[in-house]
Amino acid sequence: MKPNKISYFLALHREQDWAKAAAACDVSALELLKAVANAESEHGCALVKAGSPFQGFTVEGKKVIAQAQQLSNAMASLEQCFTASRRKRMVAPLLDRRSVSPKRLYAPAPDAEAIELMTAAALSAPDHGGLHPWRIIAFGTDQRDALAHLFEQEKRRRDPLASRDDIQRAREHATRSPALLAFVVSLKVKTQVPAREQLLAAGAALGNFMNAAHQLGFGAISLSGERCFDPIFSAQLGLTSSEYLACFISLGSITEPPAPKSKVAPSAVMSRWIPCSTAIQQPI
């Protein structure tokens, strides 16, 4: 019996009525009657008791229904398996993303078109009021030495006793990554949108940026470090008083995918609301 015929029998069993079963199967009552008659001649015996309205199934018909239900349940669980694996595949690029240390980022850096796509992804993040309360500063390869000088100055301000190696390491943070960007949170003041929502929007944008980099096959990492908290350094990068330097984004090619991250179960961060009557304050 073909799968659609099985569903006809199951609908008839469920509805116990020819017209309702036909409607449930989106066919006319005549088509349903014909399909049942065909199945009966295929089987060589009556499956539905004669008479109108619907009189129920014969003993043979009840056996067919039992088999059909088993088959239908098996098909449903197979469909569930397919759906679950399709969903996992769909979110796999988000689940797989890992940060890649600048030490494991190599040339070539993502080109301007790839960085523009990452930025477009960042601009697609949830953002109350569409304020995009963030911006990105790109440092060209010809600007890295000048940036390294600022990194060195900041290191000397923070640690006047810094060794030659310390200074070298600070400078390398500006020069090592094949591509380097600064991610600036740029809170808008003339708006009703609360600062905390703007912060979340900026975080969501950064997340989208990192995910897009991963999807495009590049390695990426966001790193702040103490220099991002230095007001002189921020001013040297051109930040205003309503902005702050969230992090630097290092980007580059990777030779092998980063090791998978140990997963936190969604249940660790998801709970069902428990109404708490004592929390409801009565007006005094």
- CA-to-CA distance for 79 and 83, rounded, in angstroms? 6
Give every strand in the sheet of 134-139, ordered side by side: 134-139, 179-186, 243-252, 219-223
x-marked contacts with ligand FMN along 261-280 as a string, rule CB under 6 A: x-------------------
Query: What is the chain's alpha carbon radius of gyration, rounded to the nearest angstrom?
Result: 32
Binding of ligand FMN at residue 122 (CB under 6 A)? no
- Per DSSP, 31 falls in state H
Q: How far is the CB of 101 from ligand FMN (least distance, A)?
A: 9
Which among 7-15, 87-95, 142-150, 219-227 is the span making contact with ligand FMN, rule CB under 6 A? 219-227
Nearer to ligand FMN, 22 or 246 (CB): 246
Nearer to ligand FMN, 148 or 221 (CB): 221
Q: How far is the CB of 221 from ligand FMN (least distance, A)?
A: 5
Residues 92-121 that bind ligand FMN (CB under 6 A): 98-99
- Per DSSP, 128 falls in state G
Q: Out of 23, 247, 253, 254, point to the residue binding ligand FMN (CB under 6 A).
A: 247
Nearer to ligand FMN, 81 or 94 (CB): 94
Binding of ligand FMN at residue 246 (CB under 6 A)? yes
Contact 212, 118 (CB under 8 A): yes
Which among 19-27, 83-91, 170-178, 215-223 is the span making contact with ligand FMN, rule CB under 6 A? 215-223
- Give me 15's structure tokens: 């509805």
Binding of ligand FMN at residue 222 (CB under 6 A)? yes
Sign of CA dihedral 121, 127, 132, 136: negative
Alpha helices in 46-100 (DSSP H): 59-96
Q: How many residues bind ligand FMN (CB under 6 A)?
A: 11
Q: Out of 223, 236, 237, 253, point to the residue binding ligand FMN (CB under 6 A).
A: 223
Nearer to ligand FMN, 5 or 155 (CB): 155
Q: Out of 25, 118, 122, 221, point to the residue binding ligand FMN (CB under 6 A).
A: 221
Helical (H) or strand (E) element with 14 = helix 3-15
Using DSSP bridges, classify how beta strands 134-139 and 219-223 pair: parallel, antiparallel or unpaired. unpaired
Q: Mind spelling out the 3-state secondary structure of 125-158?
A: CCCHHHCCCEEEEEECHHHHHHHHHHHHHHHHHH
Instruction: Say how far residue 254 (Cα) sits from the centre of its chain.
Output: 22
Q: Name the residues that contact ligand FMN, by CB under 6 A.
A: 98-99, 206, 221-225, 246-247, 261
